[in-house]
């Protein structure tokens, strides 16, 4: 489809091409530099006015200004509405503003600084939004309040991930941020297993679940579902309090070395060839409530402990390097 617009120099509609250039504009007495789009006439080289491009440049300028002054962005406002299952009109009323306030901000108007500060708090803190929702519940109808309240409960539950598990995830992400959820879940399972093998204690308190795609930690999967991978990873990687001791780090490093080298599909099949997952799924096959996304099937820790001790004896695993003997054998079995 051709790009056409009126060229004042040619005095007729002409095709134009898009190019990007650095521009500086003044907003609220401040010079703001940004990358702008320009429509250039193919016939004469004159810059052509195109309303959509002008709107785009104005939005980019405003977003640059917002970043400089820590004012909430349009995307962050949209994320708030999605995150808390509430409409822009409902949230405006909940905060005691005019019903159209957030709609204006979403359409590009610059948020007032005090409005932005409140929205930033809501964006960053589920607890803060929960207090606002409870305090001003009379400003919403019963259905809207109940919907948002249930979402808040789900979010708070999804936030509960034990610190040690977050520390392990952080280390795994630092070593390879391209690990998928599928791979990450299986690596966590193997960390749990091999930590027990060498210490007779479990590194994680949370029980692993026997999902159809192998062992999973439901708190992690639910947190990814609600917040998204990027936001979860950003939060974990920026938390300087998440640390591992030397032995914990060596366990995780060994799991990454001997299992992280395989694709998510392969490592999933590896876990599905182990007794803890097989036995947990098998004893629930008669349940009428079982479905492909059932996270209610707990892999009992006793199954894991008994299995890893038998693996340790069978493969004569005396140190962390010996883990490779077992991982290689598992790979060979599923490759046959």
Q: What is the pLDDT along the chain (336 residues), one digit of tens a residue?
A: 688 999 999 999 999 999 999 988 888 888 889 899 999 999 999 999 999 999 899 888 888 888 888 889 888 898 899 889 999 999 999 999 999 999 999 988 889 999 999 999 998 888 999 999 999 999 999 999 999 999 898 788 766 667 899 999 999 999 875 788 889 999 999 999 999 999 999 999 889 999 999 999 988 887 787 777 787 888 888 888 888 999 999 999 999 999 999 998 999 999 999 999 999 988 765 544 444 455 568 999 999 999 999 999 999 999 999 999 999 999 998 876
Q: How far apart are CA 92 and CA 99, in angstroms?
A: 5
Q: 3-state class of 221 per DSSP? A: helix
What ranges do the domains of the chain cover? Answer: 4-69, 74-140, 159-335
Class of domain 4-69: alpha beta
Taking residue 148's Cβ as centre, other Cβ atoms within 10 Å add up to 22
Give me the long-range contacts of 252-257 (CB less than 8 A, separation at least 24): 252/168, 252/171, 252/172, 252/191, 253/171, 253/175, 254/194, 254/320, 254/321, 254/323, 255/187, 255/190, 255/191, 255/194, 255/323, 256/172, 256/175, 256/176, 256/187, 257/324
* DSSP string over 274-308: SHHHHHHHHTTTT-TT--TT----B--HHHHHHHH
């Amino acid at each position: 489809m051709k790009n056409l617009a009126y060229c004042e120099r040619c005095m007729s509609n002409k095709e134009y091409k898009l190019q990007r250039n650095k521009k500086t504009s003044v907003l609220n007495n401040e010079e703001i530099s940004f990358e702008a789009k320009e429509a250039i006439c193919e016939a004469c080289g004159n810059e052509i006015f195109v309303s959509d491009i002008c709107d785009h440049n104005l939005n980019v300028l405003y977003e640059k200004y917002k970043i400089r002054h820590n004012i909430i962005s349009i995307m962050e406002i949209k994320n708030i509405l999605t995150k808390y299952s509430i409409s822009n009109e409902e949230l405006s009323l909940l905060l005691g503003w005019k019903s159209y306030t957030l709609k204006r901000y979403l359409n590009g108007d610059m948020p007032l600084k005090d409005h932005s500060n409140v929205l930033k708090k809501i964006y960053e803190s589920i607890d803060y939004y929960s207090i606002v929702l409870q305090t001003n519940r009379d400003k919403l109808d019963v259905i809207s309040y109940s919907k948002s309240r249930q979402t808040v409960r789900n979010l708070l539950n999804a936030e509960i991930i034990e610190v040690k598990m977050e520390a392990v995830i952080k280390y795994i992400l630092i070593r390879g941020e391209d690990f998928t959820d599928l791979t990450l879940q299986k690596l966590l399972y193997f960390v749990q297993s091999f930590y027990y093998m060498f210490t007779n204690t479990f590194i994680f308190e949370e029980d692993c679940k026997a999902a159809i795609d192998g062992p999973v930690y439901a708190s992690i999967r639910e947190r990814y579902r609600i917040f998204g991978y990027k936001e979860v990873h950003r939060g974990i990687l920026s938390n300087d309090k998440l640390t591992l001791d030397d032995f914990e780090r060596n366990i995780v490093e060994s799991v990454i070395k001997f299992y992280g080298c395989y694709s998510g599909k392969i490592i999933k099949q590896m876990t599905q060839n182990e007794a803890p997952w097989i036995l947990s799924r098998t004893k629930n096959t008669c349940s009428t409530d079982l479905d492909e996304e059932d996270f209610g099937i707990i892999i009992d820790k006793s199954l894991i402990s008994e299995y890893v001790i038998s693996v340790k004896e069978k493969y004569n695993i005396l140190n962390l390097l010996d883990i490779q003997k077992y991982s290689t054998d598992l790979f060979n079995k599923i490759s046959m």
